Structure 1
Amino acid sequence: MLANFLIGLREGLEAGLVVGILIAYVVKIGRRDVLPRIWLGVGLAVALSLGLGCLLTFGAYGLSFQAQELIGGLLSIVATGFVTWMIFWMLRTARGLSRELRGEIDSHLSGAGWGLVFVAFLAVGREGLETALFIWAAVQASGSTTLPLVGAALGIAVSVVLAYLVYRGVVSINLSRFFTYTGAFLIVVAGGVLAYGVHDLQEAGFLPGLGTLAFDVSAAVPPDSWYGTLLKGVFNFSPATTVLEAVAWVAYVVPVMVLFLRSARRHGGSAPRPVLVSSTITPEGAL
């Protein structure tokens, strides 16, 4: 639940801030008439994300066990790749995102501004598809459905409230620090999802070594204990881990974490804190 809460919070806040930038800019230039176009794009993006979640959840029914494990393993690996790209993308583009979005708006404001539907759809849809895929992979890895989904829903709800409060100027958030901390946490979570995907591929017979364990601490960390459940739900930790799973986790988490922390230190030293205030956008302040 905690991991999915943070996923929903982070992705939801990113999408919320993007929508806030779009709305703030069109209000600032006196084009309130195009606001419905932005909200239409947001609605279509949300519908697409929910549709992907339903497809992933119900689309595998009727398939053989091996086929389900193969699809689940491959999608877990894809989800890991998406969340890794998202983490580094935010570090790299946060400083100029507001300027980029304003340029997109200016190029689509001719006439009735229907091009803004596409701008909002792409901006929010990217976050939504990543969220749907990664949450699905996390739910599959944890073996539970209710708590992970509740956690993700709560995270998204909190992100919506925070994005609105930031937009209204009620609160300010050090987004650089927020995305750095949550990014480091999500790298560890993504490592667990990747390891689980490898395990699925082993169960499907696509990868070898299902019976070759790197360690088995089931006696010390029983899977049905509260702390075993907690480790499984948050970090996808398996007390009985195969060699290939362990190798995949280390090979992903160690280099990615090192690169991420170096990038965060480099960008954090020069980039200002991004803040979206009321209906105005500061020159380099809004993401």
Structure 2
Amino acid sequence: MLVLAADATAPGIATQLFGSGLIGLREGLETGIVVMILVAFLVKSERRDALKWVWLGVGTAIAMVAVIFGAIHFGTSTVTGTAAELISGIASLVAVAIVTAMVLWMRTAAATISSDLKDSLGKALAIGPLAVAAMAFFAVGREGVETALLLVGYAENAGNSVWPLIGLLLGIAVAAVLTVLLYFGAVRINFAKFFKYTGAFLVVVAAGILAYGVRALQIAGWLPGGTNFAFDASSWFDTSSWYGTVLQGIFNFRPDPTVLQVVAWVAYIAIVLPLFLRPVRKPTAAPTAATETSDLPA
């Protein structure tokens, strides 16, 4: 499914790297913050003996995500025709559902994620080491599965090139460096703005993946209207231009969408984006995102 050379109509390398890199940065930083909170809590609680169980859970979660990612890509690369479109379409819709749920969840959970994790880890410590490993596994695995599914849909949209995967890994690497710097207090990030802007970006990306999934299922015959086009701008829309590579590579725009694709894209943006951007009501006693990370060791 992923090849080193994309065809002539595939989005530009820089565009693919930027889009998937930003996804990797956001998802990697979310995961890094979770791990950072767990490690900081154990260090401050003088329970360094439990760190190995956290890392066991984290390592197992990463291995699980790699297996899921490889299985999906292997499955889509070994089938062709209608079956391939069907698998790609279903994977895209699953990715959209998971990303939507996680983006909306993070919108309300960001302010209390630190205290919630610490409370859960305290209970896990009382139960035993396997409970600590399991907690770290599920906390990291949840983000990882979301990222794996999101990249499947994104890579499909990017012409089956290997560059989205490279961009994702680069984004995760930057997130890992930022996490370490955050842990030692070397850098400060306004998490509220970071997650707001990148979350809005992910909503638009997810809308494009939804449109791709709809088209794939139309080709597979699972959805109607595959030949009912909303418009056709192929005569003037240059897919190899800078704007063409940006619109295709990041937002999955195509010059000949079907009516159902356009309806799905517009409906998703009209519903999900306002839900994500609406103000969050915080209890008076609830800590802010800044204070949630202020107790990390410097």
Same fold per superposition (TM over 0.5) = yes
Structure 1 residues 61 and 152: alpha-carbon distance in aligned structure 2, compared to 1, 3 A threshold: closer
The match for 2:151 is 135
The residue type equivalent to 1:238 in the other structure is R
The Cα shift of 1:273 comes to 3.3
- Once residues 218 and 161 of structure 1 are traced to their aligned partners in structure 2, the CA distance between those partners, rounded to angstroms, is 43
Given candidates 194, 198, 201, the residue that maps to 1:185 is 201
The Cα shift of 1:61 comes to 4.2
Query: Does the 8 Å contact 1:222/1:239 carry over to 2?
Result: no
- Once residues 211 and 59 of structure 1 are traced to their aligned partners in structure 2, the CA distance between those partners, rounded to angstroms, is 27
The match for 1:90 is 106
Question: Secondary structure of the equivalent of 2:231?
Answer: strand
- Once residues 150 and 57 of structure 2 are traced to their aligned partners in structure 1, the CA distance between those partners, rounded to angstroms, is 22
Does residue 167 (structure 1) correspond to residue 183 (structure 2)? The answer is yes
Given candidates 20, 24, 40, the residue that maps to 1:8 is 24
The residue type equivalent to 1:89 in the other structure is W
The match for 2:228 is 212
The match for 1:285 is none
- Once residues 192 and 110 of structure 2 are traced to their aligned partners in structure 1, the CA distance between those partners, rounded to angstroms, is 8
Given candidates 26, 41, 44, the residue that maps to 2:42 is 26
Does residue 72 (structure 1) correspond to residue 126 (structure 2)? The answer is no
Query: Does the 8 Å contact 1:34/1:112 carry over to 2?
Result: no
Q: Give per-residue Cα distances to partners, 1:148-194, cap 9 Å, x unaligned.
A: 11211111111111111111111111101100001111111110000
The Cα shift of 1:261 comes to 1.2
The two structures, once aligned, show a CA RMSD in angstroms of 2.0
Give the TM-score of the pair, scaled to structure 2: 0.89
- Once residues 262 and 151 of structure 1 are traced to their aligned partners in structure 2, the CA distance between those partners, rounded to angstroms, is 30
Q: Please, which runs of 5 or more residues in structure 2 have no aligned partner?
A: 1-15
Query: Does the 8 Å contact 2:110/2:289 carry over to 1?
Result: no
The match for 1:262 is 278
Query: Does the 8 Å contact 2:185/2:297 carry over to 1?
Result: no
Query: Does the 8 Å contact 1:223/1:229 carry over to 2?
Result: yes
- Once residues 190 and 120 of structure 1 are traced to their aligned partners in structure 2, the CA distance between those partners, rounded to angstroms, is 27
Does residue 35 (structure 1) correspond to residue 54 (structure 2)? The answer is no
Question: Secondary structure of the equivalent of 2:230?
Answer: strand
The residue type equivalent to 1:165 in the other structure is L
Q: Give per-residue Cα distances to partners, 1:193-246, cap 9 Å, x unaligned.
A: 000000000110111111111111122222233431221111111111110100
The residue type equivalent to 1:276 in the other structure is T
Query: Does the 8 Å contact 1:195/1:249 carry over to 2?
Result: yes
Alignment: residue pair count: 280
Structure 1 residues 112 and 247: alpha-carbon distance in aligned structure 2, compared to 1, 3 A threshold: closer
Give the TM-score of the pair, scaled to structure 1: 0.92
Given candidates 200, 210, 231, the residue that maps to 2:216 is 200
Structure 1 residues 217 and 200: alpha-carbon distance in aligned structure 2, compared to 1, 3 A threshold: same
The Cα shift of 1:277 comes to 4.6
Q: Please, which runs of 5 or more residues in structure 1 have no aligned partner?
A: 282-287
Given candidates 273, 276, 280, the residue that maps to 2:293 is 276
- Once residues 32 and 162 of structure 1 are traced to their aligned partners in structure 2, the CA distance between those partners, rounded to angstroms, is 22
The match for 1:152 is 168
Aligned counterparts, 1:40-51, within 5 A: 40-51=56-67
Q: Give per-residue Cα distances to partners, 1:234-271, cap 9 Å, x unaligned.
A: 1111111110100000010111111111145x56x986
- Once residues 33 and 278 of structure 1 are traced to their aligned partners in structure 2, the CA distance between those partners, rounded to angstroms, is 21
The residue type equivalent to 1:247 in the other structure is V
Structure 1 residues 279 and 182: alpha-carbon distance in aligned structure 2, compared to 1, 3 A threshold: closer
Query: Does the 8 Å contact 1:169/1:278 carry over to 2?
Result: no
Given candidates 92, 95, 100, the residue that maps to 2:116 is 100
The Cα shift of 1:280 comes to 4.2
Structure 1 residues 135 and 178: alpha-carbon distance in aligned structure 2, compared to 1, 3 A threshold: same
The match for 1:244 is 260
Query: Does the 8 Å contact 1:221/1:227 carry over to 2?
Result: no
The residue type equivalent to 1:205 in the other structure is G
